[in-house]
Every structure is written in C-alpha cells, then in structure tokens.
Amino acid sequence: MLDLRGPSRLAAYLLLSLGVFAILAPFLWVFLQSLKYEIDILQGSWIFNPTSFNYADVLYSRRSDFPENVYNSLVVAFLSTVGVLLIGTLAAYSLVHFKSRAAISRLLLGWTLIFNMIPPLTLVGPWYLIFRELGLSGTLTAVVLTHIALNLPMTVWMMMAYFREIPQEIEEAALVDGCTRPVIFMRIALPLAVPGLIAAGVLAFVFSWNEFSVALTLTSRHTATVPVAISRFAQQYEVQYGQMAAASILSTIPALIMMFIGQRFIVRGLTAGAVK
C-alpha cells in the first residue's frame, strides 16, 4: 500500500484539487452565465445582479418548447434503456452459458465491438433514409430504435462481465434440483445481477439523454430532444447565451439524479447475497 506522508500527501491533495477544479469549473461558469442578463454576458461582467429571467424564459415562455423537449428526452431515454436492458441481458446470458455455439458467440461479440467503434455520424445518413421509407422520420420511435442500437454493445459486454462473476455452483445446484434455464435466469442469475442491471441502465439512460448527432437528424421541432433544443438557442442572427446556459443547467439534473442513484449499486459486490 502506498504511504503518502508530508510533501507527497500535499502534492497528492493539490493534484486532486486541480482535477476537481478542472471538472467543476466549466459547470460553474455556465451556471454563472445562466444568472446574468444578456448585456452582462456580452460585457463579460464578473460583478452582476443575479436574475432568474433566463430560467423563467426557458420554462414558461410561449416561444420556448423546452418543457416539451424534456418530455421527449425522458420518453426516448426511458424506452431505449428498457429495450437495451431487455435485449442486452438476454443476449449476454446466452453468450455466457450456451457455449456449444462458440463460433456464433465470437462472431456476435466481434460484431458488437466493430459496431461500437463506428462513429454514429457515419450511420445517420442510412438511418435517415431507412426511417423515411418506413414513414418514421421525425418521430420518437426512430430515435428510440437508434439509441437501442448504439447502446446495445456496451450493455452486452457489461452484463456478460456480471454474469461471469456468478458462481457456477449456484446454477449447477439449481439444475440438479430440476430447474430449467429460464427459471435459473429469472430466479437466480437476474437477482444476482441487479447491480449490473442498474449500472448498465444508468449508463444507457445518460448516453441516450446526452446523444445529439442522431437526434438532430431524425427529429423535428415537436419531437426534438434536449440536446437539440439547446443547440437551437444559437440562431442565424442571434445567440441566446443566457437561455442556452439555463437550459444546459436544467438538462444536467436528470442525468445527475440517475448517476446518484446508480452509484449506490455499482460499488456493491455482485455475489454478496449468494451465500446468505
């Protein structure tokens, strides 16, 4: 174990403080901009009278669609997360336990890796053409399906790691007692993998909530998600810096809540309750 004393401990604290500042400084700067009037932002004033005008304009103005955009993002993130967990968990469990088809498993895992390395921007054009032919262009359904495709590889690999950590003796004992694979999956493997489900679900929700490039192409004005709505505060002849900053701060709240909830489960041992 590394023993930090004297100057070494001070240097470690300084480095940690510098890292925390580098992470929080941009967020604090945007928060300060959200409390300024437009004139103070343009003048770069450090001393100003705080105002809630930007938040009120974003949330309650008739010209603002931000509440509707928040609803769209919640729908897309929730449905895509449910779809990713449903498909990814079944796929991961199958790839871990059905080893008789090892070649197929390796092929699927290789495909997920390759797909995960492809930049989403290269897929936006084909997706747009496909959904336009299907009559789904500009709908939330198109965004949900694309987000499931984008987050599925990460979920499969993460859930495979959790399923591999479950002691095989537990499932073998269940097989001896006459349980079938579906019963073992539902009553043994899935409860033990709850921390993994929550961790994968939180990551999928946050990634879907923050995704911009695909949503920008596949949505319309009334189906736009939060990242697309924030970008629209920058117009051709005007950039609404205060409203953009306020919308950015508001958009971080659901993601922070999800990360706070998921953090409790990520650090837990996967098989802590297996021997109780």
State pLDDT tens for residues 158-213. 888 888 888 888 888 888 888 888 888 888 888 888 888 888 898 899 999 999 98
Torsion of CA 188, 191, 195, 196, to 10 degrees: 60
pLDDT in tens, 107-137: 777 777 787 788 888 888 899 999 999 988 8
pLDDT at 166: 82
Q: Partners of 138 in the beta sheet? A: 219
pLDDT surpasses 80 at 99: no
Q: Partners of 234 in the beta sheet? A: 239
C-beta of residue 204 within 8 angstroms of C-beta of residue 84:
yes
Rounded alpha-carbon distances, angstroms, from residue 194 to 24, 77, 163:
31, 19, 10
CB burial class (10 A; 0-12, 13-18, 19+) of residue 216?
middle
CA distance 143 to 207: 13
**Residues comprising the chain, all counted:** 276
Per-residue pLDDT averaged across 15-33, rounded?
Answer: 89
CA distance 226 to 74: 9
Query: How would you write 106-173 as a 3-class SS string?
Result: HHHHHHHHHHHHCCCHHHHHHHHHHHHHCCCCECHHHHHHHHHHHHHHHHHHHHHHHHHCCCHHHHHH
SS3 call for 63:
coil
pLDDT in tens, 213-229: 899 999 988 899 999 99
Closest-CA residue to 135 (of 75, 218, 215):
218
Q: How many CB atoms lie within 10 A of CB 221?
A: 12
Number of H helices, E strands in the chain: 14, 0
pLDDT surpasses 70 at 43: yes
Per-residue pLDDT averaged across 262-272, rounded?
Answer: 56
**Domains by residue range for the chain, with CATH:** 7-55 (no CATH), 63-266 (1.10.3720.10)
pLDDT at 249: 92
What pTM was estimated for this model as a whole?
Answer: 0.85
pLDDT at 13: 82
CA distance 248 to 100: 49
